Structure 1
Amino acid sequence: MPKMKSKKSLAKRVIAKKNGTLKRGKAYRSHRATGKTTKQKRHLEKATIVHVTDMKRIKGLLQK
């Protein structure tokens, strides 16, 4: 049986932390940001943790 491959598009967007959680970037900052306040854009810079309800599905896609 062939090896399992991880989804590379997802692997580039998510980083696994030591405690098992996944870190990801936030959306809505790449373009058309002129309508957003400076505070909104600053908060969108920071990374966030993947929600628990999505964790199992995403970890399955990242398995090798």
Structure 2
Amino acid sequence: MPKMKTRRAVSKRFRKTGKGKIRRNHAFMNHNLEHMQKRTKRKLRKSEIMSKNDVKRIKQLIAYK
């Protein structure tokens, strides 16, 4: 059976932590930032752990990362 291919677009958006959890970046940080509060922008800068519902699907897409 052939190897699974890593989805390149997904591998650029998500990464695994040391314990195998999946980290992601927040949305809404590309443009039109002048109307946002500083506090909101500061919170969106940090990455976040994916919810358990989506982890299984993402792990299949980044199998070898």
Residue 49 of structure 2 is aligned to residue 49 of structure 1? yes
RMSD: 1.0
- Scaled by the length of structure 1, what TM-score is found? 0.91
Counterpart mapping for 1:5-24 below 5 A: 5-24=5-24
SS of match in other structure, 1:10: helix
Residue 15 of structure 2 aligns to a residue whose secondary structure is: strand
Structure 2: any 5+ residue segments left out of the alignment?
A: none
* Count of aligned residue pairs for this structure pair: 64
- Percent identity among equivalent residues? 34
Q: Deviations over 1:12-64 (max 9, x none)?
A: 11110111101111000111111110110010000100110000000011114
Separation in 2, partners of 1:55, 1:63: 12
Q: TM-score, normalised by structure 2?
A: 0.89
In 2, distance between residues paired with 1:42 and 1:17? 22
In 2, distance between residues paired with 1:60 and 1:15? 13
